[in-house]
Structure 1
Amino acid sequence: MGAITLGIVGFGVMGERLAGAALSHPDIRIAGGWDPSPRATARWREVTGAAPFLPDADAVIEACDVLYIATPPAAHIPLARRAFKAGKAVFLEKPLATDLDEAAAFVAEAEEGRARAAVNFPMASSPAVEQVSRWRQDGHVGAPLRLDIVTDFARWPRHWQAAAAPWLARRQEGGFTREVLSHFLFLALRQLGPLAVVSAAVAYGDDDAAETAMAAELRAGEIPLSVSGTVGRIAEDEQHSWTLSGEAGAIRLRNWSLAERLQDRSWQPAAEALSNAEMRPLVLQRQLSKLRALVEGKPQDLATLREAFEVQAIVERILRNGAM
């Protein structure tokens, strides 16, 4: 089989990043894209060159083998259903939907129909995550005792998300818990198994603004998880840590891409650690290679719809149960 064709609906930051990666991937060809924003139209030309900018989402679906949906969340499921009906594979951004019941029904439908679908959680293809897994397999953690997840921002949305602020800054679809914490919960789910919310507290901004702080206690079986996030507490754009402590030691993923192990009371990075800016292109290339396997019905380990739903359910329970 030759290169698979990728359609892109939604050309904000995420759509632009995946398009850029697709342009240099030997097994991917961009079939076309669409976004209603005039600014997005201009950016499409700058980023993709001669790749077609099509008149609407249905034209993109018709032209591609796999549809990448990078729109605001409310449009995810309607677009995915149209692509499934046309016999196409789907690669979704998270969360699946703005309504948890709608997301549950969608996942059940897709599973029953054996739809080819995956969700863009890049940690499924991260070399840093692979290093964390190797350390666990090599016994550097032992039996897990607890997991701590901390995610902080100077402001929300982040400066590079300004164009998406109309929805990212709002309580209905946006907020850092959905947009960022979900990635670290996905990693927790893959490493430790199903998660459950024990307690949560969430502080919101004025009117319908998204959260400004959250703290929650979760469990993965008998393993406790502490989760927290803030806006405005740090000067840096963002800081994140995912720290797993066990009977034999501790490991962590810091700032998306730095795998570190606690040795002699200090955190030591993996020998081949890369910054997030350096690692992101590599991760996206790996995601696209797995996306080709999905289209061809071959084994791959992209995030499933079921995993994405489980993460979304935890996120929404935190936000609902912790509302103040």
Structure 2
Amino acid sequence: MSAPIALGIIGFGIMGERLLRAALGHATDAVTPVGVWDPAPEAAARLAGISGAVPMLASVEAVIAACECLYIAAPPAAHIPLAEAALAAGRAVFLEKPLATDLAAARAFVARAEASGARAAVNFPMASSPAVAQLARWQSELTPEALAIEVGFATWPRGWQQDAASWLALRAEGGFTREVVSHFLFLTRRRLGPLTLVEAATTYPAGQGAETAIRARLTAGGVPVTLTGGVGTTEQDDHNTWTLNGAIRLRDWSFAEQAGADGTWTQAPDAVPNERMRPMVLRGQLHGVAAMTRRTPHPLATLREALEVQEIVEAILAA
């Protein structure tokens, strides 16, 4: 059995902490965290409070030197510079999305990485979701005809994201289309095929705030897709559905459901809330990280898939 991959983490906000906890608690056979770096003093305090946590190292360079694969959970503007530094040092990289805030920079980065055979993947957790695997089994019995994606939020950023509101709430790097809708576009690309934007409209507040509503029509592998999203449309932190043919759907991230003859939705027998499914999903992602680092087959999102999603996201936001 192969030894666990040495994993470094840059950025210890919500996602960095979640991945570290998953690595320590659910994927010790796949990865061994060896170092974290984040400039914020509060990040160091939170890291120190995690039992069995790895050290906060002195610099980005120290984390890269210590690891075999670098997980990049910093704000989007830092993604490409950090990834290129790690790749130049011969490391694999696992990035949060989006690839960049600049679409031209993202395209150029992906082209360089593909040309060099870089070991790189992007963290779209639905690649390892048991609920998505259930949808795939149900979908094998259907001919896709139409897809509807709906997302809604009580506020933006969501309640648990307020510590990152300094960038998530702003148009330049944040917004729910980049942060949430991208996951459902990735799922759509995986399940149905290449994405094409037909039309879109986006509503912004005054100033530099992120979008408050979107609507769009797309196709995915030729299948028509409708997409709607808005802030203040639900009392939940977030509510979402991905519904194919009106017959099967993914609800609130983790519930795979089928529609009965009377239109009533029934959950898959093993359906669980997202809070309980997240550790299973992250364990799968971390096993994918180990496989990607070893250049063996894995389910993780490729740079090309992430770029295709980002192309659509930025086109919606520009509409």
CA drift of 1:145 comes to 1.2
CA drift of 1:199 comes to 0.8
- Tell me the alpha carbon deviations over residues 210-253 of structure 1, each in whole angstroms, 9 at most, x when there is no partner: 001110111124311000111012111110000000xxx61000
Task: Find the aligned partners of 1:231 and 1:313 in 2 and give their Cα distance.
Answer: 22
Task: Find the aligned partners of 2:83 and 2:51 in 1 and give their Cα distance.
Answer: 23
Q: Specify the alignment match of 1:98 in structure 2.
A: 101
Q: Given the two structures, how large is their TM-score scaled by the length of structure 1?
A: 0.95
- Structure 1 residues 50 and 136, CA gap change in structure 2 (3 angstroms): closer
Q: Specify the alignment match of 1:315 in structure 2.
A: 313
- Structure 1 residues 194 and 50, CA gap change in structure 2 (3 angstroms): closer
Asked if 1:131 is matched to 2:134, the reply is yes
Q: Specify the alignment match of 2:286 in structure 1.
A: 288
Choose which of 17, 25, 28 in structure 2 pairs with 1:26. 28
Letter in structure 1 aligned against 2:130? P
Letter in structure 2 aligned against 1:306? R
Q: Are 2:212 and 2:231, in contact at CA under 8 Å, matched by a contact in 1?
A: yes
Q: Are 1:16 and 1:47, in contact at CA under 8 Å, matched by a contact in 2?
A: no
Task: Find the aligned partners of 2:81 and 2:53 in 1 and give their Cα distance.
Answer: 28
Alignment map for 1:163-312 (pairs within 5 Å): 163-245=163-245, 250-264=247-261, 265-312=263-310
Q: Specify the alignment match of 1:6 in structure 2.
A: 7
Unaligned residue ranges in structure 2 (runs of 5+): none
Unaligned residue ranges in structure 1 (runs of 5+): none
The CA RMSD measured in Å over matched residues stands at 1.0
Task: Find the aligned partners of 1:37 and 1:260 in 2 and give their Cα distance.
Answer: 41
Q: Are 1:258 and 1:275, in contact at CA under 8 Å, matched by a contact in 2?
A: yes
CA drift of 1:301 comes to 1.3
Letter in structure 2 aligned against 1:9? I
Letter in structure 1 aligned against 2:113? A
- Structure 1 residues 3 and 102, CA gap change in structure 2 (3 angstroms): same
Sequence identity (%): 57
Choose which of 45, 59, 62 in structure 2 pairs with 1:59. 62
CA drift of 1:47 comes to 2.1
Asked if 1:120 is matched to 2:105, the reply is no
Alignment map for 1:38-57 (pairs within 5 Å): 38-47=41-50, 49-57=52-60
Q: Given the two structures, how large is their TM-score scaled by the length of structure 2?
A: 0.97
Letter in structure 2 aligned against 1:303? A
Choose which of 72, 79, 90 in structure 1 pairs with 2:82. 79
Q: Which runs of 4+ in 1 moved over 4 A?
A: none
Letter in structure 2 aligned against 1:253? L
